[in-house]
Amino acid sequence: MMWKPRDRAAALKPLVFLACLAPFAWLLWRLLNNDLGADPVAELEHRSGDWALRFLLITLAMTPLRRITGWVQWIRFRRMLGLFVFFYASLHLAVYLSLDLQGLWTQIFAEIIKRPYITVGFSAWLLLLPLTITSTKGMMRRLGRNWGRLHKLIYLIGVLAVLHFYWLVKKDVREPLIYAGVLAVLFALRLPWKRWLVAARPAAPPRT
Partner 1 sequence: MLIKRPDDIATAEITDESIYLGRRRLLRTLGLAGSALLVGCSQNPGDVDAKVGTQADTDASLTLALARKTDYANGEAQTSFKDATHYNNYYEFGTDKSDPAQNSSKFQPKPWSVEIAGHAEVTGNFTLEDILKGQSIEERVYRMRCVEGWSMVIPWAGFSLADLLTRFKPTAQAKYVAFTTVNRPAQMPGLSYAALDWPYREGLRIDEAMNPLALLATGMYGRELPNQNGAPLRLVLPWKYGFKGIKSIVKIEFVERQPRTSWNDAAANEYGFYSNVNPEVDHPRWSQKTERRIGAGGGLFAPRIETKPFNGYAEQVASLYAGMDLRQNF
Query: Which is nearer to partner 1, 173 or 185 (by Cβ)?
Result: 173
Shorter beta-carbon distance to partner 1: residue 100 or 127: 100
Q: Which is nearer to partner 1, 101 or 153 (CB)?
A: 101
Q: Is residue 40 a contact point for partner 1 (CB under 8 A)?
A: yes
H-run or E-run covering 99: none
- Selected from 1, 14, 33, 37, the binder of partner 1 by CB under 8 A is 37
The Cβ of residue 113 has, within 10 Å, a number of other Cβ atoms equal to 11
Residues in binding contact with partner 1, number by CB under 8 A: 26
Scan residues 95-124 and list those touching partner 1 (CB under 8 A): 99-102, 104, 107, 110-111, 114-117
**Which residues, 6+ apart, have CB-to-CB distance to 3 below 8 Å?**
11
Q: How far is the CB of 56 from partner 1 (least distance, A)?
A: 22
CA-to-CA separations, 93 to 8, 30, 35, 105, 149, in angstroms, rounded = 35, 19, 21, 14, 26
Residues 51-70 that bind partner 1 (CB under 8 A): none
Residues 89, 86: Cα–Cα separation, whole Å: 5
Residues 6+ apart with CB under 8 A from 120: 160, 163, 164, 167
Torsion of CA 18, 180, 190, 125, to 10 degrees: 60
Least separation, in Å, of the C-beta of 25 and partner 1?
18
Give residues 138-197 in contact with partner 1 (rule: CB under 8 A): 167-168, 170-172, 174
Question: Closest CB to partner 1 among 117 and 187?
Answer: 117
Which positions touch partner 1 (CB under 8 A)? 31, 37-42, 44, 99-102, 104, 107, 110-111, 114-117, 167-168, 170-172, 174
